[in-house]
Structure formats: C-alpha cells, structure tokens
Amino acid sequence: MKEKVILAYSGGLDTTALIPWLKENFDYEVICCCVNCGQGNELDGLEERAKLSGASKLYIEDIVDEFCDDYIMPCVEAGAVYEHKYLLGTSMARPVIAKKLVEIARKEGASAICHGATGKGNDQIRFELGIKALAPDLRIIAPWRMTDVWTMQSREDELEFCKAHGIDLPFDANHSYSRDRNLWHISHEGLELEDPSQEPNYDDMLVLSVTPEKAPDKPEYVTMTFEKGIPVSLNGKSMKVSEIITELNTLGGKHGIGIIDIVENRVVGMKSRGVYETPGGTILMAAHDQLEELILDRETMETKKKLGSQFAQVVYEGKWFTPLREAIQAFVTSTQEYVTGEVKFKLYKGNIIKAGTTSPYSLYNESLASFTTGDLYDHHDADGFITLFGLPLKVRAMKMAELKNEKQN
C-alpha cells in the first residue's frame, strides 16, 4: 500500500505540476487539499483538474468563517500592521491552512505534507512552522528547495512536464503578476513591481479596486456597530464578520480604499516589493481604531500599540501556534471588553473620513474637554501637576547651570 501525501493545492500551474511529480519521484498516493479562505472563482474546475493530473482525491475545505473569526479578528483587535502598512492578508491565512492540512493528513493517515512555496519567500516558513507545531512527526516536502529533484525553472518547463505526462492544461506560458487572494486581500508581485523605480501599472493589476482617481466624485457614508471589539452590523443590518468584510470589500473597492505599494523586509532577509489591495480590511481596521479611541485609557492604548506591533511581527514570521501569540492575544482580548459602540464615516477617493462615533463606555467627557471650566476640572490644579511633572527637567537645568558656573570660576 502506497504512502499518502497531502498536497496544498491551489489549482494553479505550480501545484498541478506537483501531482505527477510527487507520484513519479516518491511513488506517493497524492491527495489534494484546497483550503477556501475566500478565493472566489479561483476554485472553479479544481476537482476535474486535480483528478486529470493524477490525484486520488480532492478536499475543498471551506474555512472562511473560521478564518475571519479566529485569525482575522484577533489581528484587527490587536491593530496588527507589519512595517506600518501591510495588513497581514497572506500571513493570517497560512496558519489556518496549515491547520487544515494537518487535519486532512490525520484523517487520511498520510505521512507527509507538500507545499509549493518557493525557497525565497515567507510562505515556506509560515506553512512549515504551523505544521511542525501541530504535527511534528509529519514529513514536509518543499519541492522548490529540492533543486536536485525539482528541475523545472519556468512556466514553460512546467507546461512541458505536464504535457509529457498526458495532462493538457488551460494555462499559457505568458508571465503575469504573482498573486495571492483570500477574503481579506489580494497581493501582487512581479513584472514592473520588481523594479522599485517603476510606477505600478494599476490599470492592468487591480482586481478588487479602482484607483482613487477613478472612484466616484461623491462620498458614501457607512455606519458600523461593534460589540466587544467585534463588528456586528453594517449600515443597520446585522451580519457575521465574513459578510461584513465581503460588503466592505465592495464598498472599499468602489472608492479606491486600501491600495498600498510597499517594499517590505521578508523573514528570509531580502526586501521585496508588492502591491496589496485590502479594501474591506482597511475600512474595518480604521473603524475599529476610531471606536477604540473613545474607550481605551492612555496607558492601555500605548501598551496595546506596542504589543500590536509585536503581534504583527509574530504573525508575519509564521509563529501563530506559539505561547507568545497566545499571550499577546489574551492581553488584547482583555482590552476589548468595552469596545462597543457605533462608528460612522464616509468613503471618498481613497480616504476614510470620520463622521461621528458613539459608545456607552466612552471616556470622552465634554465637560472636561471643553474650554469652559467644568465641575471635574479646576485649572489651578494644573500648577502643582506641572511643577511635579517638570521637576526632573528643572533639577537637571539647575545642575547644568551650577556646573557651568563652577567651570567659569
């Protein structure tokens, strides 16, 4: 009886070519697993293609709600943004995909998991750290790092390999952007983006969005409500998180929201350039921040920002299944207890503009914030506060003056 390998299958040329390659080089029974994180029509025709290529079985696992509730929302609540711009669209998806691959491997009694991530990217780290954390006994096959066995270096090579194995595929050899898509975002790499001096060709590239120049000339108002940090309604309609993100993607894409061009530092040490479309995610993050401003006290907010940055780094590096991620998330969850209220904003040509925020737990006090004197604040109290707050500065200045006089005398 042949050993089984679970192949992380996207249906693209790379992972389709891997099916006959795994059978030929390892004599495995190949079981494909496509994890649906919201790729849309990319899932069309997968079963026929996988079987045609020699797979014995194909699992299509719909984990969109799990992805949204257990992976996206912890990052939103943490305010996790990598290097000030990247909203972790690919990074968040990899651990849940790894988790599902392990589950299928256990169900099928497989001895190995294979992925098609390259040897230069972050995804190989994210997949493999997840698999090692959840199933340290399973073998991991990474063909792009096995250059003695995996000899294909181009799409032409892969197409010829498939054709030689009796597999005709609806792909061509023309190079296009390398993309990764899920419900949260779509990323673009390659072509002119490989030269940082070149402007992105947005007209050919964008999938979810239009550029701000092409967005409507009229702003659109949006209202969201949150309960304990979680969005629960959009424009007065109760929805689950995945439905809210889907609708926000439409709204954000229409108004040119969430398009970023970034040169980021990969885990493996190199810089890479990419363009990310995250229309709904950008709106959701901004709305959550807008509400949190009213509710969290200064010191909690400052600590949360520091930990949010660290959380982003942990997720980016593929360390989801670690005690550190769990500990930071526990802190973040505790800060969300009172993040409840309504946020209103308008979308206009790439901008998210505040239009009012309310919360029963708001710490904003109009009497305190007003320029008029209220019952809770006596202006004279500031005298003693400033004296104590500025005492270290005053003592240092006095000491420096004393030393200067001594030197002059």
Residues classed as catalytic: 14, 94, 123, 178
- Strand, coil or helix: 83: coil
Q: 368 is written with which tokens?
A: 């305190």
- Strand, coil or helix: 294: helix
Q: Cα separations (Å) of 4 from 19, 22, 57, 164?
A: 12, 10, 11, 24
Q: 23 is written with which tokens?
A: 């059978």
Q: Does residue 9 contact residue 51 with C-beta atoms inside 8 Å? A: no
Q: 253 is written with which tokens?
A: 């894409």
390 residue type, one letter: G
Q: 392 is written with which tokens?
A: 């270290």
Alpha helices in 273-390 (DSSP H): 279-295, 298-316, 323-335, 366-369, 381-389
Query: Residue 19, Cα to own-chain centre: how many angstroms?
Result: 29
- How far the first Cα of the chain sits from its last, in Å, is 96
Give the integer Cα–Cα distance in Å for 113 and 102: 8
Q: 188 is written with which tokens?
A: 């673009």
Of 97, 340, 118, 79, nearest to 232 by C-alpha is: 340
